[in-house]
Amino acid sequence: MTEPNMPVTEDELHALVDNELPADRRAAVENWLKTHPDDAARVAAWRAMGNAMHARYGGVADEPVPTRLELERLATQPRRWMIGAAAAVLLAFAVGGGVGWFAREAAAAVATAPDPVDAMREEAFAAHRLYIGEVRHPIEVRAEENHLLPWLSRRIGMTLRAPDLSKFDLKLLGGRLLPGIGAPAALLMYENSAGERVTLYTTPLKAQRSSFRYQEADKFASIHWVADNYGWVVSGPADKPRLKSIAMAAIEQSERR
């Protein structure tokens, strides 16, 4: 048994909200709240949140899953922290409790959710480092194939043009379609006479317009930006002035479409 005079923990406050507090601690916790207004306010806020969610979504757990949700398709798409969060919400409603615990976990999930622009850059950079090392299959469709750009354009929802980077001694090898953070992404790969490769990645991205941002890791680097609800990333050898010039050429040519 617990001692009635023991300090009240945050776990006990959540348990009180969820009606899971042991009977021998309930009186002690309630007395604690009478003399600790900050904790009392937190408990009141959690209860209000729980009441509001149950009033608005209480019947969700009993509803059949709509076919249009395409659960099988969603289950095959990795790196979606939003799906895990939605599952946590439905689970909390299904069991009819867990409000206090859910409030804390939901707040933590929001606080740690990745920024979509950073997530886009990371995916583009990972794709760059993966495919530039491929000898036989660095690309999916060769530049000489006429359907490369029309195909990628249809998939990402914009008229994609391959920038002419010949003044940087870069020739287009081809490209490939990739899964983006929320929509398909296109990756174009260029190569110079020394065998160094540079990639241009773009995907639909609803984020605030941003200027160039440079990031470096090991011997590689990237410059990313957002324009007109599309995210762009140029990745290549860690040479900031050169990458910036390539990015500038890419954005200038893309805006002429």
Regarding pTM above 0.75, the answer is no
pLDDT of residue 156: 95
Q: What Cα–Cα distance (Å) separates residue 73 from each residue in 67, 81, 111? A: 11, 16, 27
Report how far residue 138's alpha carbon sits from residue 211's, in angstroms, rounded to the nearest whole number.
29
Report how far residue 185's alpha carbon sits from residue 200's, in angstroms, rounded to the nearest whole number.
10
For residue 195, which of 147, 119, 138, 150 has the smallest C-alpha distance?
138
pLDDT of residue 71: 47
pLDDT of residue 113: 54
pLDDT of residue 19: 83
Q: What is the DSSP letter of 211?
A: E
Report how far residue 78's alpha carbon sits from residue 180's, in angstroms, rounded to the nearest whole number.
10
Catalogue the long-range contacts made by 211-215 (C-beta closer than 8 Å, 24 or more residues apart). 212/244, 212/247, 213/121, 214/240, 214/243, 214/244, 215/121, 215/125
pLDDT of residue 197: 96
Instruction: Show the domains of the chain with their CATH numbers.
Output: 10-112 (no CATH), 116-254 (3.30.200.100)
Tell me the H-state helices in 58-80: 71-75
Listed as ranges, residues in the chain with pLDDT below 50 are: 1-2, 68, 70-76, 78, 81, 95-96, 110-111, 257
